[in-house]
Amino acid sequence: MPKFAANLSMMYNEVPFTERFAAAAADGFQGVEYLFPYAWQPDELKSLLQQHGLQQVLFNAPPGDWDGGERGLAALPGREAEFREGIALALQYSRVLGNRLIHVMAGILPAGADAREYRNTYLNNLAYAADLAEQAGCRILIEPINHADMPGYFLRYQAQAAEICAELKHPALAVQFDIYHCQRTEGCLSHWLQEGLAREHGQIAHIQLAGYPGRHEPDIGEIHYPYLFQRMDELAYSGWVGCEYRPQGNTSAGLSWLRNLR
């Protein structure tokens, strides 16, 4: 059975963020992930991890002006200096928190923009970030995100992510496979899971889950997760599965799907 990490940005919203570490540990989670750590000092977050016996699995590099609608900088021409500063900051936090995976968001492609220019910027920025990550013992992840939830996002399809990784051929560049986004965009979940784990370059290094539709608990909706968990085992996936979903009600009460697996 896969290792599950609680996503503290979406789960346990019944309590303030710094109290979610204790709540996740009380429910049996051993790993956590969240969108961004930068509102807190790294030593403060490290103390919470140590206090509750948790492993930091993943967080995102700085995304630009999140509140203003930006969703990453990696593909945005003219923002290279800010992107590089963000990668340096993310690696600084990673050194303290101990995670070896950093998700880098691509950004929104404006209507009428030259997609080739954005792609070239994306490749150059990813190569730069992967070089630094490799020196730090980390990996940079890219994740296709569906256009219904994030209109205009540059990286949308699994094959697109695979193509970019194959072109760069960088050992520190990998894919974050979000089952919810894949289902909403293209389906064929077991195919993309198998294909992504078998790649020579850009293998799946992290998986995230949520039920579809609704993005609630994984036992709500049309995706048959027991089969996908079985396939992960059969394909020898040894990484984490992040629970990036919005609980329908109380987070702990909604974890019957996880308790039934144990």
- What are the catalytic residues? 143, 244
Half-sphere exposure of 141 (CA within 13 A, CB side): 26
Sign of CA dihedral 201, 206, 211, 213: negative
Closest CA to 206 of 174, 228, 230, 233: 174
| C-alpha to C-alpha distance for 174 and 205, rounded to whole angstroms | 6
| C-alpha to C-alpha distance for 244 and 216, rounded to whole angstroms | 9
Residues 6 or more apart from 130 whose CB is under 8 A from it? 139, 140, 168, 170, 171, 172, 173
